[in-house]
Amino acid sequence: MTQRKNTKGGLPPESLSDDGISVPLMAAVEAINPEFADLSARLRFCPKDGRIWLDEQRMLLLHLSALAGLRHELVTSLGIPAARGLLTRMGYASGCKDAQLAKRLRGNTVQAFLAGPQLHALEGIVSVETIRAEVDLETGHHYGEFLWHCSSEVDAHFAAFGMSAEPVCWMQIGYATGYTSVFMGQPILYREVECRGAGSPHCRIVGKPVHEWDDPNSDMIYFQPDGLASLVEREQSPAEPLPAHSEPGFIGLVGTSSGFAAAHQLLNKVARTEATVLFLGETGVGKEMFARTLHASSKRADKPFIAINCAAIPENLMESELFGVERGAFTGAVQSRPGKFERANGGTIFLDEIGTLNLAAQGKLLRVLQEREIEPVGGSAVRRVDVRVVAATNVDLRKAVQKGEFREDLFFRLNVFPIRIPPLRERREDIPLLVRHFLTKYCERYSQTVAGIGDRAMDRLLDYDYPGNVRELENIIERAVILCPDEGMALDVGHLFAQGGEVISPFLEVGHNGQLTESSRPQTPPPSSSAGSGVPVIDQLLSSDLPLDTLEAMIIEAAVERSDGNLSEAARKLGLTRAQLAYRYHKGKGESEG
Ligand SMILES: [Zn+2]
């Protein structure tokens, strides 16, 4: 297919190509072209939390003058070839991302391919005029020729250095190359054959498969040292999160945001040591998952990992749970029972919500850390244990020390290597990854087939603040998978926020005139199941065909969560005894430690 265009901004928004196919124009974005609508609808401004999104990618509005300053520093400090390489690869990375978006939104057609030039314009980089765009994914044929008007990179180069003898649109060429290579699924090289930065009236670029160029290497050196082909390969395998390690059944950590990566890097550094680690973070950020990953990456990986939520064990049972009981220690202790520390011997013990330990248990824990000895309740002899202690807290232990509620010496023993896990609202970039991860998990668990997640629903997930963090997101997805009534249906907003009550911060999107307008989408969940009589929830549950024990498990889990893991409180909410609830809770979860 060949498309010929000859346009300038201000012409009608649409014209016919030689073969009669209606194609969008790359006119300057003075009015949002209806052909851009699917792309511009993916652009959202969320000033409240300082984020701009293009679909699932976080974007930036940069001052071109700042970019010009950076360019100047790069060239003067590194020299032209190195600076050109850096900027080319930066553009390449953007192009790859936009190609994934184009394919997701539009498929594999020429129209889909032309999303690239449109996105380049939408992002404010350059206005693109299509001269020829031949795309044949079956044969791998590609020939592209485009004119660039108002190249931002030329302006930046002019500002930094004035007129150049050579083409200067390095980043933009990187973009065109990356975009087309990912779109075509093979290495395509674009070259700038004329450049306004070198005195031409406009920039002109030509692209075709690398092997069709006579001397591709003179340009290829600006891409990665290991060559363009490997880059394309890498982009084609979807950027699934890398599990921290591959033990069967082990899910590992999911995320790529900088906040997540920082925590993960600290974890990798400390895992192979024997240091005591203290995880800090709000409820639900995944402290236990981090602790499990730490254990699995440590030399103790083949030994037990025992997790205990200190807040969920009644205070009077804490010591016997942790350190064991000698026969006859108290009425009912008819035989000796090892505590969690003994069961964790050789491995790792994870003490969640360590701030809730009473002072007596704190004293004994300090002894384990100092002497590597435990003293069972009612016993006289101490026993040696070899256990790595990993703890977590969602309270400020320093404050607890000041108030006399937490031993200062124990605090210093625990705080050897603190790792802060950011709340989900500070790592929104990870939401799409996590959503996919949980979707796969729960579709498998409930034998559901869900056709992904709708745009509106993803918008809402990206905007929500998640006071309950990753655990809350996981619960939302689990509930949505269960409530999704039709096989093969995509999840919609109604499935996600079935319980209502969440407050969504409004966001801005690009209106028809190109100006930002407040989103016209509903700010609160549809009334289908929130508040009111609650009958629709029951309707949805009844139509979900779920067995009663699954429903019970969901209700119990919700109660425990709303009680911050305090089983006694959750039991009160449900009118059960603590023991009844604990039994059903652990049965429902099918786990407690391990
Ligand atoms: Zn140029």
| Nearest CA-CA partner of 271 in 295, 243, 254, 253 | 295
Taking the C-alpha atoms of residue 312 and residue 334, their distance in angstroms, rounded to an integer, is 24
Rounded to the nearest angstrom, the distance between the alpha carbon of 126 and the centre of ligand 1 is 10
Rounded to the nearest angstrom, the distance between the alpha carbon of 7 and the centre of ligand 1 is 18
What mean pLDDT do residues 24-38 have? Answer: 50
Residue 188 has pLDDT above 70, yes or no: yes
The per-residue pLDDT for 364 is 87
The per-residue pLDDT for 346 is 95
Best mean pLDDT range from 42-56, 63-77, 570-584: 63-77
Residue 495 has pLDDT above 90, yes or no: no
Taking the C-alpha atoms of residue 544 and residue 478, their distance in angstroms, rounded to an integer, is 13
Which has the minimum average pLDDT: 192-206, 211-225, 580-594? Answer: 580-594
The per-residue pLDDT for 19 is 38
Residue 514, SS3 per DSSP:
coil
Average pLDDT, the chain: 79
Residue 421 has pLDDT above 80, yes or no: yes
484: alpha, beta or left, given left = phi > 0 and alpha = psi -120 to 50? Answer: beta
C-alpha 272, offset from chain centre: 26
Residue 41, SS3 per DSSP:
coil
Rounded to the nearest angstrom, the distance between the alpha carbon of 272 and the centre of ligand 1 is 50
Task: Give 325-342 pLDDT, tens digit per residue.
Answer: 887 767 766 778 888 999
Rounded to the nearest angstrom, the distance between the alpha carbon of 74 and the centre of ligand 1 is 18
Residue 174 has pLDDT above 90, yes or no: yes
Rounded to the nearest angstrom, the distance between the alpha carbon of 167 and the centre of ligand 1 is 5
The per-residue pLDDT for 355 is 92
Rounded to the nearest angstrom, the distance between the alpha carbon of 80 and the centre of ligand 1 is 16
Task: Give 123-140 pLDDT, tens digit per residue.
Answer: 999 999 999 999 998 888
Residue 384, phi then psi, degrees to nearest 5: -85, 140
Rounded to the nearest angstrom, the distance between the alpha carbon of 194 and the centre of ligand 1 is 7
Q: What single-letter DSSP state applies at residue 504?
A: P
Rg (CA), the chain: 29
Q: How many Cβ atoms from other residues are within 10 Å of residue 240's Cβ? A: 10
Residue 11 has pLDDT above 80, yes or no: no
Rounded to the nearest angstrom, the distance between the alpha carbon of 40 and the centre of ligand 1 is 25
Rounded to the nearest angstrom, the distance between the alpha carbon of 106 and the centre of ligand 1 is 28
Which has the minimum average pLDDT: 319-328, 371-380, 483-492? Answer: 483-492
Residue 164, phi then psi, degrees to nearest 5: -115, 160
Taking the C-alpha atoms of residue 574 and residue 569, their distance in angstroms, rounded to an integer, is 9
Rounded to the nearest angstrom, the distance between the alpha carbon of 83 and the centre of ligand 1 is 16
Taking the C-alpha atoms of residue 280 and residue 419, their distance in angstroms, rounded to an integer, is 6
Residue 574, phi then psi, degrees to nearest 5: -100, 0
Rounded to the nearest angstrom, the distance between the alpha carbon of 195 and the centre of ligand 1 is 4
Q: How many Cβ atoms from other residues are within 10 Å of residue 543's Cβ? A: 10
Taking the C-alpha atoms of residue 101 and residue 123, their distance in angstroms, rounded to an integer, is 14
The per-residue pLDDT for 147 is 97
Rounded to the nearest angstrom, the distance between the alpha carbon of 93 and the centre of ligand 1 is 19
Residue 109, SS3 per DSSP:
coil
| Nearest CA-CA partner of 112 in 91, 90, 133, 141 | 133
Rounded to the nearest angstrom, the distance between the alpha carbon of 168 and the centre of ligand 1 is 5
| Nearest CA-CA partner of 11 in 127, 145, 143 | 127
Rounded to the nearest angstrom, the distance between the alpha carbon of 203 and the centre of ligand 1 is 4
Rounded to the nearest angstrom, the distance between the alpha carbon of 172 and the centre of ligand 1 is 8
Rounded to the nearest angstrom, the distance between the alpha carbon of 68 and the centre of ligand 1 is 15
What mean pLDDT do residues 391-412 have? Answer: 94
Q: Is the separation of the CB atoms in 197 and 158 below 8 Å?
A: yes
Taking the C-alpha atoms of residue 58 and residue 426, their distance in angstroms, rounded to an integer, is 12
**CA triplet 443, 286, 496: central angle to 5 degrees?**
40
Residue 499, SS3 per DSSP:
coil
Best mean pLDDT range from 162-176, 458-472, 483-497, 520-534: 162-176
Rounded to the nearest angstrom, the distance between the alpha carbon of 153 and the centre of ligand 1 is 7
The per-residue pLDDT for 173 is 97
More confident residue, 496 or 541: 496
Residue 426, SS3 per DSSP:
helix
Rounded to the nearest angstrom, the distance between the alpha carbon of 205 and the centre of ligand 1 is 8
| Nearest CA-CA partner of 199 in 164, 226, 227 | 164
Rounded to the nearest angstrom, the distance between the alpha carbon of 67 and the centre of ligand 1 is 16
Which single residue is written with the structure tokens 């083949």? 302
Residue 4 has pLDDT above 70, yes or no: no
The per-residue pLDDT for 29 is 36
Q: Is the pTM of this model over 0.95?
A: no
Rounded to the nearest angstrom, the distance between the alpha carbon of 57 and the centre of ligand 1 is 26
Residue 230 has pLDDT above 50, yes or no: no
Helix (H) or strand (E) holding 541: helix 535-543
What mean pLDDT do residues 3-21 have? Answer: 37
Residue 501 has pLDDT above 80, yes or no: no
Note the residue count of the chain: 594
Best mean pLDDT range from 396-405, 435-444, 482-491: 396-405
Rounded to the nearest angstrom, the distance between the alpha carbon of 512 and the centre of ligand 1 is 30
More confident residue, 465 or 151: 151
Taking the C-alpha atoms of residue 516 and residue 519, their distance in angstroms, rounded to an integer, is 9
Q: pLDDT confidence of 22, banded at 50, 70, 90?
A: very low
Which single residue is written with the structure tokens 């509005």? 61
Angle, to 10 degrees, between the axis of helix 228-236 and the axis of helix 80-106?
A: 30
Q: Is the separation of the CB atoms in 326 and 345 below 8 Å?
A: no
More confident residue, 413 or 460: 413
Residue 78 has pLDDT above 70, yes or no: yes
Rounded to the nearest angstrom, the distance between the alpha carbon of 5 and the centre of ligand 1 is 19
Q: Is the separation of the CB atoms in 410 and 449 below 8 Å?
A: no
What mean pLDDT do residues 572-576 have? Answer: 78
Residue 522 makes CB contacts below 8 A (sequence gap 6+) with none
Rounded to the nearest angstrom, the distance between the alpha carbon of 169 and the centre of ligand 1 is 4
The per-residue pLDDT for 246 is 33
| Nearest CA-CA partner of 351 in 323, 392, 410 | 392
Rounded to the nearest angstrom, the distance between the alpha carbon of 174 and the centre of ligand 1 is 12
Which has the minimum average pLDDT: 156-160, 243-247, 445-449? Answer: 243-247
Rounded to the nearest angstrom, the distance between the alpha carbon of 410 and the centre of ligand 1 is 63
Residue 191 has pLDDT above 90, yes or no: yes
Q: pLDDT confidence of 91, banded at 50, 70, 90?
A: very high
Torsion of CA 198, 204, 210, 215, to 10 degrees: -40
Taking the C-alpha atoms of residue 142 and residue 1, their distance in angstroms, rounded to an integer, is 10
For the chain, the distance separating the N- and C-terminal CA atoms, rounded to the nearest angstrom, is 59
Q: Is the separation of the CB atoms in 87 and 223 below 8 Å?
A: no
What mean pLDDT do residues 501-508 have? Answer: 54
Q: Is the separation of the CB atoms in 553 and 589 below 8 Å?
A: yes
Rounded to the nearest angstrom, the distance between the alpha carbon of 489 and the centre of ligand 1 is 46
Which has the minimum average pLDDT: 35-44, 341-350, 389-398? Answer: 35-44
Residue 45 has pLDDT above 60, yes or no: yes
What single string gives the DSSP state of each residue in 216-268? THHHHTTS-TT-HHHHHHHHHS--PPPPS---TT-------SHHHHHHHHHHH
Rounded to the nearest angstrom, the distance between the alpha carbon of 192 and the centre of ligand 1 is 7
What mean pLDDT do residues 162-187 have? Answer: 92
Rounded to the nearest angstrom, the distance between the alpha carbon of 165 and the centre of ligand 1 is 11
What mean pLDDT do residues 200-216 have? Answer: 92
Rounded to the nearest angstrom, the distance between the alpha carbon of 375 and the centre of ligand 1 is 75
Rounded to the nearest angstrom, the distance between the alpha carbon of 154 and the centre of ligand 1 is 6
Task: Give 269-299 pLDDT, tens digit per residue.
Answer: 899 899 999 999 998 998 999 999 999 989 9
Residue 38 has pLDDT above 80, yes or no: yes
Rounded to the nearest angstrom, the distance between the alpha carbon of 206 and the centre of ligand 1 is 12
Which has the minimum average pLDDT: 34-48, 277-291, 432-446? Answer: 34-48
Rounded to the nearest angstrom, the distance between the alpha carbon of 52 and the centre of ligand 1 is 27
Taking the C-alpha atoms of residue 24 and residue 34, their distance in angstroms, rounded to an integer, is 9
Q: Provide the percentage of residues in the chain whose pLDDT is more than 90.
A: 35
Quick one: tokens of 100? 């994934």
Rounded to the nearest angstrom, the distance between the alpha carbon of 254 and the centre of ligand 1 is 40
Which single residue is written with the structure tokens 């690009």? 510
The per-residue pLDDT for 537 is 59
Which has the minimum average pLDDT: 171-180, 216-225, 232-241, 431-440? Answer: 232-241
Rounded to the nearest angstrom, the distance between the alpha carbon of 459 and the centre of ligand 1 is 36
The per-residue pLDDT for 10 is 33
